[in-house]
């Protein structure tokens, strides 16, 4: 068994970040079991299954180890940071924003010299003072992975998928997000091949900030719609 995945060594810690208060005794749902950095030493059935399939496909030349590594590296390169840059540019440049909304992927590829190809359609949902967008996939976990990477576990959870369409404001409150009653909270349920990127409102007091500084205010959650963009530090 090759150890050539050494380049993928992760030195993240596996402790869950328990800085919100609820009793983990009655979670009622499983956390991922703690996994070692190197899952070659881990014999849970699904890890064995993944390893078996991966090895067989490599041996038959269908998906080589190299191809898999390249795909993982590509996946790793997709993070909310690029989304943040796109939002910051849209805030600063009205012409870019117009083009972005009209043809998102083409505009993103051109402006950021990317080559994102996908059979899916990316749609930009612009927040306004009157409309707050939030995205879900009630039927599975559709998410703009081609841009933002892997969705957070909560987005894929039974609880989020069940509740955000019926009580979005209560769910948003769990994220610390509150909106005036007269604002239209517009939940987009990704039921087909469209993928949604929320363009959050530009926070007040940011007029003098550079595009780079603005990008740092744009969180992943603000591009899903469960949060607002961050306010500038006082």
Partner 1 sequence: MTTTERKVNDLGGMPAGPVCLDEHPSTLHEKRVDALQKLLTGGKLQVFTSDAMRRAIESNTDEDYKNMLYYDKWIRAVRDLVIEQQLLTADEIDQRIEVLRQRHKETGSL
Partner 2 sequence: MNAIEPRPGHALAAGTPVVILKKPPEAHCRTPFYLRGVKGEIAEVRGCFRDPSLLAFHKPGLPMRVLYRVRFKQKDVWPNYSGGPNDTVVADIFEHWIDPMPGAKT
Binding residues vs partner 2 (CB under 8 A): 103, 118-121, 138-139, 165-169, 179-194
Exactly one of 4, 77, 140, 157 is catalytic; which is it? 140
Structure tokens at 101: 């909304």
| Identified binder of partner 1 from the candidate list 6, 7, 20, 115, rule CB under 8 A | 20
Structure tokens at 20: 């919100």
**Nearer of residues 72 and 102 to partner 1, judged by Cβ:** 72
Cβ atoms 108, 100 nearer than 8 A? yes
- Residue 141: is it exposed, middle or buried by C-beta count within 10 angstroms (0-12/13-18/19+)? middle
Cα–Cα distance between 87 and 46 in angstroms, integer? Answer: 38
Cβ atoms 118, 105 nearer than 8 A? yes
Cα–Cα distance between 115 and 113 in angstroms, integer? Answer: 7
- 140 tagged catalytic: yes
The 3 state secondary structure assigned to 1-39 is: CCCHHHHHCCCCCCCCCCCCCCCHHHCCCCCCCCCCCCH
Task: From the list partner 2, partner 1, none, pick the one residue 179 interacts with, judged by a Cβ distance below 5 to 8 Å according to partner type.
Answer: partner 2
Task: State in angstroms the smallest separation of the CB of 140 from partner 1.
Answer: 5
Site string for partner 1, 57-76 (x = CB under 8 A): x----xx---xx--xx--xx
**Nearer of residues 49 and 102 to partner 1, judged by Cβ:** 49
Q: Is 212 in the site for partner 1 (CB under 8 A)?
A: no
- 141 tagged catalytic: yes
Cα–Cα distance between 56 and 54 in angstroms, integer? Answer: 6
Structure tokens at 182: 């007269």
**Nearer of residues 67 and 184 to partner 2, judged by Cβ:** 184
Where do contacts with partner 1 occur on this chain (CB under 8 A)?
1, 5, 8, 10, 12, 14, 16-18, 20, 22, 27-32, 35, 37-43, 45-57, 62-63, 67-68, 71-72, 75-76, 119, 138-141, 150, 152-154, 156-163, 165-166, 171, 174-175, 189
């Amino acid at each position: 068994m090759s150890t050539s995945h050494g380049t993928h060594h992760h030195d993240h810690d596996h402790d869950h970040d328990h800085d919100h208060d609820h009793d983990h005794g009655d979670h009622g749902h499983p956390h991922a079991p703690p996994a070692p950095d190197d899952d070659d030493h881990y014999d849970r059935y699904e890890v064995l299954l993944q390893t078996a399939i991966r090895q067989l496909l490599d041996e038959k030349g269908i998906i080589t180890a190299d191809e898999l590594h390249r795909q993982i590296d590509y996946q790793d390169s997709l993070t909310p940071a690029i989304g943040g840059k796109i939002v910051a540019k849209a805030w600063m440049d009205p012409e870019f924003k117009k083009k972005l909304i009209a043809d998102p992927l083409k505009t993103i590829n051109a402006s950021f010299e990317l080559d994102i190809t996908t059979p899916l359609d990316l749609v930009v949902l612009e927040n306004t003072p009157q409309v707050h967008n939030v995205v879900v996939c009630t039927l599975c976990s559709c998410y703009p992975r081609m841009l933002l990477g892997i969705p957070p576990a909560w987005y894929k959870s039974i609880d989020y998928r069940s509740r955000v369409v019926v009580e979005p404001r209560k769910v948003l409150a769990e994220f610390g997000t509150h909106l005036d009653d007269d604002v239209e909270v517009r939940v987009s349920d990704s039921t087909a091949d469209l993928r949604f990127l929320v363009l959050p409102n530009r926070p007040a007091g940011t007029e003098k900030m550079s595009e780079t500084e603005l990008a740092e205010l744009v969180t992943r959650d603000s591009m899903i719609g469960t949060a607002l963009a961050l306010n500038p530090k006082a």
